[in-house]
Amino acid sequence: MVVLFEVLLVIFSIGLITVVLLQKGKSAGLAGAISGGAEHLFGKTKARGMDLVLQRITVGLAAGFMILAIVVAMLK
């Protein structure tokens, strides 16, 4: 049973890495990072299309990864 959860954890981690690397950057440089963060925080730019799909997949994979990591830690 532990081996199954460990294999699932590896699959989730590889999937999470892949989805994060597929997303495009929002801004360039330090000045872009500051203004891009403010725009993201206040919702001036909305994700659409593939960006929205990748964002939702990232949230799902991250939640699954955290849950599986806790389960594997508890079982060992």
- What are the tens digits of pLDDT across the range 14-73? 999 999 999 887 665 555 556 555 555 555 556 678 888 999 999 999 999 999 999 999
Of residues 2, 9, 3, 1, the one with CA closest to residue 62:
9
Please give the model's pTM, rounded to 2 decimal places.
Answer: 0.73
Q: What is the pLDDT of residue 18?
A: 96
Q: Is 12 in contact with 61 (CB distance < 8 Å)?
A: yes
Instruction: Give the integer Cα–Cα distance in Å for 4 and 26.
Output: 37
Interacting residues of 5 by C-beta distance below 8 A, sequence separation 6+: 68, 71, 72, 75
Q: Is 1 in contact with 72 (CB distance < 8 Å)?
A: no
Q: What is the pLDDT of residue 56?
A: 94
